[in-house]
């Protein structure tokens, strides 16, 4: 290097890289060359490095070379600023000098001249502007540029503010949309799990008002006759009042609900004062916006959802979308609830028909049983009639053989009249008489007996009694109950006595302290009468007849057990299950109704107890009744 | 009596049984009764050699040969009786609502069925069957 000391710093501000490269090539062997690609960068760099010389391109974006020169003149008043430009229009040089430049070089750069000029400028050479008018022109231009800049900045600021506002609106809209959709989803989730229609509708209107913050919500459903939209659920007191009134609207354009249903389109009144097709409801005075959304399922409109707000213009597009989504879900839920209802109806109908079937079966059994019990009655009656006739005719025949003075005796009159009465009742008196005549004395004595008549009366009585018993057995368990607290040993002793069973033929095996029970005393006594009667009948004709009645605590707490044990014939294992069946009886010989044990089981069951049986053929049977004890 | 009519009556309902028995006795017949299939078969078998029955009247639903209540006990007894005396006329007794079962008994060899309740009718039926028997006997 030829020179000593720090190298001089030259700053080149130009937006064209090739120009900066050329300047660097030409000068960097002697000077420290700095580059900036625009005006602002150049000014900042100049302030930092304090260059000894600055080249500035006049035509650059944002900040022109003129403006950079002006700025540099105040920033570094002693540093020469040289304009470097390809502009060859008139007075460029003057304008550059007016802006504060100290020299002017035109592009393209002449390498020889360029180095010379650099040295000259560094050496203090300055060009002077002769004409001051350029300076004024330049100042006007700067003010203009400045004004334009301010405008641009203001505009940019406004645009920024607008964009910012728009962003905020979008954000709040999307937040609201998310909230609405979330609420709709929550409502849907809640309502689709409710299968009772009324509960579903009431829950829906409540949830809609709570989640969306609306004033009122109501659900209308189209009636069966397809004439009216009937309010099925309404929010709050207004809703309750309208429901009580049976509020309904015709399916036409005279109401928003009617219109929404007939057109299958949402109806929205953002300012109800202006809406003609709207039912003005005195119960909802605060409504300012109202919306009616059709409830559609599978292409059919089943009703409408009405939502009302105290605000005007309360419903945004998002509200409508969210609520229509909700309405669609609601329609599906209503449909589900209705389907379930239909299913339940069908099930109930099936149950009813099954019940009828069961009743028919039981009735058939009962008729069969009654028919069998009644079967001997006509035969016995016929025999008694015949026997009666035979006795009277025999008596009259004997009377005919008596002397005339006896014919007026009061008994003779009685017998004559009896014979006349028989004839009047279509008895063939002659035929009976002939039949009696035909019999030998021995045959007569054997064939006509009072014993036989009494037996036939007994047969009739027995049959009638059996039929009457079934009535008691059938209606016994259904009798009105009168619950008392009493002791079982006492009841059993009383029962045995009332049945006329001698106390010495019964073993009472009662534990020292037995808890009382709570039941209808008469009903429970019926149970024990039944069991004791069974036991006595099972022992008929048996060599050992011993009835044992026991009362004791069960092993499990709060249960008391009564045992009725006989030494009777026993029940074969294959019959043990059947004894609880209605109309089943093993007592062919003894005339049971087949209802006694089923009735017992029912009574004990209703008391929360249990009746069981253990039996051994030839040894005997034990019926055990377990009952809840009163402690 | 040499041509005494001997009838075996099997029914588990005591009143029904006794009433029918009396009706038959009045008509001059000799009646033995049993309350179930087992007892009925025993009486029938015991009488078979000395004084066989002319006719049997058998209930359908009663204790069977094992002594167990059985709606088909009468059918069981019917086949036992016919196995021992194939020409025996048997009348099956039935409740008014069990006629179908009784008809089945006819296909199994019973001569007739009788719906319980009108005993005069039973007597007529017994007479009709015995007359038919007499005719067949004469033809032979």
The two structure tokens encoding residue B50:
């000395």
**Looking at beta carbons, which residues of chain B come within 8 Å of A462?**
15
Contact criterion met (CB < 8 Å) for A372 and B95: yes
Contact criterion met (CB < 8 Å) for B116 and A371: yes
Alpha-carbon distance A286 to B9, whole Å? 94
- What was the pLDDT predicted at A473? 59
Map tokens 């059947």 to a residue. Answer: A578
Alpha-carbon distance A230 to A624, whole Å? 60
Strand spans (E) along A228-281:
228-234, 248-250, 267-269
**Looking at beta carbons, which residues of chain A come within 8 Å of B30?**
none
Task: Give the nearest partner residue to A588 out of B35, B95, B117, using CB atoms.
Answer: B35
Q: Are A603 and A619 in contact (CB under 8 A)?
A: no
Examine the pLDDT at A380 and tell me if it is beyond 60: yes
A356-385: average pLDDT? 78
Alpha-carbon distance A484 to A491, whole Å? 12
**CB-based contact (8 Å) between A613 and chain B?**
no
- What was the pLDDT predicted at A344? 79
Q: Are B116 and B94 in contact (CB under 8 A)?
A: yes
CA B14 to chain A, closest CA, distance in angstroms equals 5
For residues A353, A358, A363, A368, the Cα torsion angle rounded to the nearest 10 degrees is 130
Contact criterion met (CB < 8 Å) for A456 and B22: yes
**Looking at beta carbons, which residues of chain A come within 8 Å of B120?**
379, 382
Examine the pLDDT at A146 and tell me if it is beyond 70: yes
**Looking at beta carbons, which residues of chain B come within 8 Å of A447?**
26
Q: Are A438 and A431 in contact (CB under 8 A)?
A: no
Per-residue pLDDT of A237-256, as tens digits, reads: 888 999 998 899 999 888 88
**Looking at beta carbons, which residues of chain B come within 8 Å of A456?**
19, 22
**Looking at beta carbons, which residues of chain A come within 8 Å of B67?**
572
Bridging pattern class, strands A9-13 and A32-36: parallel
**CB-based contact (8 Å) between B14 and chain A?**
yes
Locate the chain B residue with the closest alpha carbon to A573.
Answer: B68
In chain B, % helix, strand, coil (3-state, to 5) comes to: 50, 20, 30
Locate the chain A residue with the closest alpha carbon to B11.
Answer: A588
For residue A553, what are the β-bridge partners? A560
The two structure tokens encoding residue A268:
């929205």
Cis-peptide into A108, omega within 30 deg: yes
Alpha-carbon distance B139 to B134, whole Å? 9
- What was the pLDDT predicted at A14? 93
Among A362, A368, A379, the strongest candidate for a mutation testing the B interface, having the largest count of B CBs within 10 A, is A379
Locate the chain B residue with the closest alpha carbon to A374.
Answer: B117
Tens-level pLDDT at each residue, chain B (140 residues)? 446 899 999 998 888 899 999 999 988 899 999 999 999 999 999 999 889 999 999 998 888 898 887 888 999 999 999 999 999 999 999 876 677 788 888 999 999 999 887 777 899 999 999 998 888 766 55
Locate the chain A residue with the closest alpha carbon to B19.
Answer: A376
Bridging pattern class, strands A289-297 and A267-269: antiparallel
Q: At CA A37, angle to CA A31 and CA A39, rounded to 5?
A: 100
Per-residue pLDDT of A94-107, as tens digits, reads: 888 888 899 988 88
CA B33 to chain A, closest CA, distance in angstroms equals 13
- What was the pLDDT predicted at A206? 87
Examine the pLDDT at A499 and tell me if it is beyond 60: yes
**Looking at beta carbons, which residues of chain A come within 8 Å of B38?**
none
**Looking at beta carbons, which residues of chain B come within 8 Å of A380?**
19, 22
- With bands split at pLDDT 50, 70 and 90, how would you rate the model's confidence at A57? very high
Task: Give the nearest partner residue to A383 out of B22, B35, B36, using CB atoms.
Answer: B22
CA A496 to chain B, closest CA, distance in angstroms equals 27
Q: Are B18 and A380 in contact (CB under 8 A)?
A: no
- With bands split at pLDDT 50, 70 and 90, how would you rate the model's confidence at A594? low
**Looking at beta carbons, which residues of chain A come within 8 Å of B16?**
372, 375-376
DSSP state letter for A359: H
A215-235: average pLDDT? 91
- What was the pLDDT predicted at A443? 85
Alpha-carbon distance B133 to B53, whole Å? 13
**Looking at beta carbons, which residues of chain B come within 8 Å of A578?**
69
B56 phi and psi angles, rounded to 5 deg: -120, 140
CA separation, residue A552 to residues A489, A505, A520, A611, A625 (Å): 10, 21, 20, 15, 11
- What was the pLDDT predicted at A471? 62
**CB-based contact (8 Å) between A462 and chain B?**
yes
Examine the pLDDT at A627 and tell me if it is beyond 70: yes
Locate the chain B residue with the closest alpha carbon to A466.
Answer: B15
The two structure tokens encoding residue A30:
């002697």
Highest mean pLDDT among A153-157, A228-232, A595-599: A228-232
Alpha-carbon distance A87 to B95, whole Å? 135
B60: CB partners within 8 A, 6+ apart: B71, B72, B73, B74, B75, B92, B93, B94, B98, B101, B102, B105
Q: Which helix (H) or strand (E) element contains residue B114?
A: strand B112-115
The two structure tokens encoding residue A336:
């589900």
CA B95 to chain A, closest CA, distance in angstroms equals 6
Task: Give the nearest partner residue to A368 out of B22, B63, B97, using CB atoms.
Answer: B97
- With bands split at pLDDT 50, 70 and 90, how would you rate the model's confidence at A153? confident
- What was the pLDDT predicted at B87? 92
A470: CB partners within 8 A, 6+ apart: A366, A369, A370, A373, A593, A595
**CB-based contact (8 Å) between A383 and chain B?**
yes
- What was the pLDDT predicted at A585? 59
Contact criterion met (CB < 8 Å) for A463 and B15: yes
Per-residue pLDDT of B39-79, as tens digits, reads: 999 999 999 988 999 999 999 888 889 888 788 899 999 99
**CB-based contact (8 Å) between A374 and chain B?**
yes
**CB-based contact (8 Å) between B30 and chain A?**
no
- With bands split at pLDDT 50, 70 and 90, how would you rate the model's confidence at A278? low
**CB-based contact (8 Å) between B100 and chain A?**
no
CA separation, residue A206 to residues A36, A87, A187, B68 (Å): 70, 79, 10, 68
CA separation, residue A314 to residues A174, A178, A183, A215, A288 (Å): 17, 17, 16, 11, 8
Locate the chain A residue with the closest alpha carbon to B34.
Answer: A589
The two structure tokens encoding residue B107:
């296909």
Task: Give the nearest partner residue to A452 out of B22, B96, B98, using CB atoms.
Answer: B22
**CB-based contact (8 Å) between A586 and chain B?**
yes
The two structure tokens encoding residue A432:
């009976």
Contact criterion met (CB < 8 Å) for A371 and B97: yes
**Looking at beta carbons, which residues of chain A come within 8 Å of B19?**
375-376, 379-380, 456, 459
A605 phi and psi angles, rounded to 5 deg: -60, -40
A314-341: average pLDDT? 81
Contact criterion met (CB < 8 Å) for B14 and A588: yes
CA B45 to chain A, closest CA, distance in angstroms equals 23
- What was the pLDDT predicted at A624? 93
Task: Give the nearest partner residue to B97 out of A367, A382, A456, using CB atoms.
Answer: A367
Contact criterion met (CB < 8 Å) for A368 and B36: no
B92 phi and psi angles, rounded to 5 deg: -95, 130
Q: Which helix (H) or strand (E) element contains residue A217?
A: strand A216-222
**CB-based contact (8 Å) between B81 and chain A?**
no
ipTM: 0.77
Question: What share of chain A has pLDDT > 70, as a percent?
Answer: 90
CA separation, residue A489 to residues A119, A437, A485, A486, A550 (Å): 142, 64, 13, 9, 8
Locate the chain A residue with the closest alpha carbon to B61.
Answer: A588
**CB-based contact (8 Å) between B35 and chain A?**
yes
**Looking at beta carbons, which residues of chain A come within 8 Å of B12?**
588-589
- What was the pLDDT predicted at B2? 46
Contact criterion met (CB < 8 Å) for A459 and B13: no
Contact criterion met (CB < 8 Å) for A372 and B20: no
Examine the pLDDT at A157 and tell me if it is beyond 80: yes
Question: What share of chain A has pLDDT > 90, as a percent?
Answer: 27
- What was the pLDDT predicted at A276? 57
> Within a 10 A sphere around the Cβ of A152, how many other Cβ atoms?
10
- What was the pLDDT predicted at B79? 95
Contact criterion met (CB < 8 Å) for B63 and A588: yes
- Average pLDDT over all residues of chain A: 84
């Amino acid at each position: 290097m030829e020179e000593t000391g720090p190298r001089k710093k030259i700053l080149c501000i130009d937006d064209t890289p090739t120009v900066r490269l050329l300047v660097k090539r030409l000068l960097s062997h002697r000077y420290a060359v700095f580059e900036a690609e625009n005006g602002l960068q150049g000014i900042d760099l100049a302030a930092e490095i304090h260059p000894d010389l600055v080249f500035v391109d006049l035509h650059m974006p944002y900040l022109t070379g003129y403006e950079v020169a002006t700025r540099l003149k105040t920033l570094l008043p002693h540093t020469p600023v040289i304009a470097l430009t390809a502009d060859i229009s008139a007075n460029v040089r003057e304008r550059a000098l007016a802006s504060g430049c100290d020299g002017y070089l035109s592009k393209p750069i002449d390498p020889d001249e360029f180095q010379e000029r650099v040295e000259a400028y560094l050496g203090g050479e300055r060009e002077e502007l002769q004409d001051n008018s350029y300076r004024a022109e330049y100042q006007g231009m700067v003010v203009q540029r400045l004004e334009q800049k301010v405008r641009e900045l203001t505009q940019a600021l406004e645009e920024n503010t607008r964009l910012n506002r728009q962003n905020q609106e979008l954000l709040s809209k999307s937040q609201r949309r998310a909230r609405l959709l979330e609420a709709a989803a929550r409502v849907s989730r809640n309502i689709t799990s409710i299968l009772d229609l009324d509960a579903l509708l009431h829950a829906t209107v409540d949830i809609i008002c709570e989640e969306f913050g609306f004033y009122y919500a109501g659900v209308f459903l189209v009636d069966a006759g397809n004439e009216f939209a009937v309010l099925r659920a309404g929010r709050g007191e207004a809703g309750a009042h309208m429901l009580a009134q049976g509020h309904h609207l015709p399916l036409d354009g005279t109401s928003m609900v009617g219109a929404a249903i007939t057109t299958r389109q949402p109806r929205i009144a953002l300012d109800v004062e202006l809406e003609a097709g709207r039912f003005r409801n005195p119960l909802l005075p605060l409504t300012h916006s109202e919306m009616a959304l059709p409830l559609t399922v599978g292409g059919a409109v089943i009703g409408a959802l009405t939502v009302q707000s105290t605000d005007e213009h309360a419903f945004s597009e998002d509200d409508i979308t969210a609520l229509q989504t909700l309405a669609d879900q609601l329609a599906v839920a209503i449909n589900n609830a209705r389907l379930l209802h239909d299913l339940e109806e069908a099930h109930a109908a099936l149950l009813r028909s099954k019940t009828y079937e069961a009743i028919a079966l039981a009735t058939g059994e009962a008729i069969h049983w009654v028919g069998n019990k009644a079967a001997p009655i006509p035969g016995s009656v016929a025999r008694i009639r015949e026997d009666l006739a035979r006795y009277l005719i025999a008596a009259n025949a004997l009377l005919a053989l008596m002397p005339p003075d006896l014919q007026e005796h009061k008994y003779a009159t009685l017998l004559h009249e009896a014979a006349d009465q028989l004839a009047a009742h279509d008895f063939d008196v002659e035929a009976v008489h002939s039949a009696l005549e035909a019999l030998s004395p021995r045959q007569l004595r054997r064939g006509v007996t009072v014993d036989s008549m009494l037996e036939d009366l007994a047969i009739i009585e027995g049959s009638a009694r059996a039929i009457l018993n079934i009535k008691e057995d059938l209606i016994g368990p259904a009798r009105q109950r009168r619950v008392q607290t009493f002791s079982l040993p006492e009841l059993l002793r009383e029962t045995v006595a009332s049945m006329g069973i001698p106390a010495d033929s019964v073993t009472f095996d009662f534990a020292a302290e037995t808890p009382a029970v709570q039941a209808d005393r008469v009903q429970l006594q019926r149970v024990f009468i039944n069991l004791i009667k069974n036991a006595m009948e099972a022992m008929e004709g048996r060599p050992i007849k011993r009835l044992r009645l026991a009362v004791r605590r069960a092993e499990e707490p709060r249960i008391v057990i009564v045992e009725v044990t006989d030494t009777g014939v026993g029940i074969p294992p294959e019959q043990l299950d059947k004894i609880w069946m209605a109309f089943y009886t093993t007592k062919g010989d003894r005339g049971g109704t087949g209802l006694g044990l089923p009735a017992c089981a029912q009574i004990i069951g209703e008391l929360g107890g249990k009746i069981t049986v253990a039996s051994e053929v030839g040894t005997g049977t034990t019926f055990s009744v377990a009952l809840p004890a009163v402690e | 009596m040499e041509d005494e009519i001997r009838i075996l009556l099997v029914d588990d309902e005591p009143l029904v049984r006794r009433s029918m028995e009396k009706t038959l006795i009045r008509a001059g017949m000799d009646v033995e009764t049993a309350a179930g299939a087992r007892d009925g078969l025993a009486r029938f078998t015991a009488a078979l050699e000395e004084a066989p029955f002319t006719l049997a009247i058998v209930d359908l639903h009663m204790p069977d040969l094992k002594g167990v209540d059985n709606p088909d006990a009468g059918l069981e007894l019917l086949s036992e009786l016919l196995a021992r005396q194939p020409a025996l006329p048997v009348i099956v007794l039935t409740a008014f609502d069990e006629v179908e079962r009784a008809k089945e008994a006819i296909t199994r060899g019973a001569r007739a069925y009788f719906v319980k309740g009108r005993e005069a009718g039973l007597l007529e039926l017994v007479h009709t069957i015995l007359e038919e028997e007499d005719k067949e006997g004469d033809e032979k």
